[in-house]
Amino acid sequence: DNFALTNKLGQGGFGLVYKGKLQEGQEIAVKRLSPDSGQGLEELMNEVIVISKLQHRNLVKLLGCCIEGKERMLVYEFMPKKSLDHYLFDPQEQTLLDWKTRFNIINGICRGLVYLHRDSRLRIIHRDLKVSNILLDEHMNPKISDFGLAKIFHINEDEANTSRVIGTYGYMSPEYAMRGLFSEKSDVFSLGVVLLEIVSGRKNSSFFNDDKNMHLLDYAWKLWNDGEATALADPRIYDESFKNEIRRCVHIGLLCVQDLSNDRPCVSTVISMLGSENIDLPEPKQPAFTAKWDAEKRASFNDVSVTAVSGR
C-alpha cells in the first residue's frame, strides 16, 4: 500500500516501521530508513551485518534487506503483540501481563542476551536494550530487536570505548554515559533497569514521590533497605503466592544496576539466579545515579556529572 500510515507500526531508531505482507501471504515488519538520515544508514548496515549472523528464538529474525536507489529497508518477521512497552506502561493493557507472563519475559530476554554475549559465533554487545526494543510474539514470548548500535567484540576483547555516546538515557550504564566505555556489563545494567520496569510496571523515568527527586532505581533501593522489596511489584498483578520470586527478581535487578561494572553479575549468572531459589545472592550495593538514604530516610545525592548524550 505504498507505506500507508494505516500500516505504520511505530518509530525505529533510524526511521518508521510498517506492517506488510509478502506475495505468499506472510506478514512482515519493514523498517524504512528516512531519506535524510545520515546516521541511520550506518546503523542500518550495522544491523544487517550483526543480525544476519544470529539465530535464536529470543532474537527477532531478519528476513531480508533492500538497498536500491534512495530506498533502504530491512524486512523482519512480524511480531503480532507489538513491543513490551505497549503493555507494560498502558493502564488498559497492563493486566494482560500477569506475573507468570512477566517472569517468562524476563527469562526470555536473559536467554537472548546470553546468546549474544557468550553462545553465538560472535560476541555482541547490544548497547540499546530497553523495553521498547523487546518485541512479543503471539504467545507473549520476547524477542530482542534493534541492533543498529550493536558492536561485535573479538574473542580477547572485554571492553571498548567510543567518543560518540548514543543510546537511551535511563538505560545506559554510568561508565558508558560518562566515559563511553561499554562491555557485557553495560548491557547487564540495561537488563537490570528493564527487569525492574517489568516488575513494577513503571518507567525508570517515572517519579515516585511528590517532590520529584526519586526515580525507579531510587525507589527500588529505598524499598530494599526498608525490607519491603515486594512493594515494588505492580499492584495490579501482585500475587502473594509468587512473593519470593518477585523479591528475588527485585534483588537480581538491583545487582545488575550496581554502580561499578565489576560488581554486576554476567547474564549467565543472572539466568542461574532466576532459575534456583537455592542460590544465595550477594547483597546489592547502591545503584548508579541514586540518592543515599540515611537513617532518617532523607536523601542526599551522590556527586554525579552527566555528559551530553544523543537520544534515540
Chain-centre distance for alpha carbon 170 = 10
Residue identified by cell 531480508 is 64
Long-range contacts of 90-99 (CB under 8 A, 24+ apart): 94/201, 94/234, 94/236, 94/237, 95/236, 95/237, 97/140, 97/201, 97/237, 98/237, 98/239, 99/233, 99/237, 99/238, 99/239, 99/242, 99/245, 99/246
Compute the distance between CA of residue 65 and CA of residue 184 in angstroms, rounded to an integer: 28
Catalytic residue of the set 36, 128, 187, 218 = 128
Catalytic status, residue 128: yes
Residue identified by cell 503466592 is 241
Tally the residues of the chain.
Answer: 312
Nine cell digits for residue 238: 501482585
Which of 130, 111, 115 is CA-nearest to residue 196?
130
Compute the distance between CA of residue 72 and CA of residue 102 in angstroms, rounded to an integer: 35
Q: Are 266 and 184 in contact (CB under 8 A)?
A: yes
Nine cell digits for residue 43: 546503523
Pairing state between β 299-301 and 291-293: antiparallel
Pairing state between β 71-77 and 27-33: antiparallel
Compute the distance between CA of residue 210 and CA of residue 192 in angstroms, rounded to an integer: 25
Phi, then psi, of 136 in degrees rounded to 5 = -120, 135
The answer to whether the annotation marks 292 as part of a ligand binding site is: no
Radius of gyration of the chain (CA): 20
Binding residues for ATP: 31
Annotated binding site: 31
* Positions marked active-site: 128
